Amino acid sequence: MVKITNKQDAERIIDHFSSLAQWDECGQKWFIACERVVYEGKDGCTLTIMRYPDGCFSAHCRGDDFCQPCETVLSRQEAIDIVWKYRAACGQACKSLVTV
């Protein structure tokens, strides 16, 4: 688990995203799947934060009875804000801690 105790930690997660995330060979992107989050009032959702090789970030959320129709493109700051908002789930999802 990666501890995210302040916004600077969330920023470091974004800065070192490819070191902490899993690689999706098919989709050609890194991703962190944050499980069991409450998203737009829906409990138990999986929020996936993604980063493409060109540096673009996006997010997508799905649950048992809820699925966003497509990924939402994020600015770097929006990605940091999402990591901060869902910091407990994001910290759990990071596969390893590289000096961040």
Q: Residue 85 is encoded by which pair of tokens?
A: 């908002």
Q: Give the separation between CA 96 and CA 40, rounded to whole angstroms.
A: 29
Confirm whether pTM is higher than 0.95. no
Q: What is the mean pLDDT of residues 69-91?
A: 95
pLDDT in tens, 19-31: 889 999 998 999 9
Question: What is the SS3 assignment for 22?
Answer: strand
Mean pLDDT of 37-56: 91
Residue 98 is predicted with a pLDDT of 45
Domain map of the chain by residue range?
Answer: 7-93
Please tell me the distance from the alpha carbon of residue 15 to that of residue 27, in angstroms, as a whole number.
21
Say yes or no to pLDDT of 1 above 70: no
Q: Is the pLDDT of residue 75 over 90?
A: yes
Average pLDDT value over all residues in the chain: 89
Per the CB < 8 A criterion, the answer to whether 51 and 67 are in contact is: no
- Yes or no: say if 78 and 47 are a contact pair by the CB < 8 Å rule: no
Is it the case that residue 53 has pLDDT exceeding 60?
yes
Rounded Cα–Cα distance for residues 24 and 71 (Å): 15
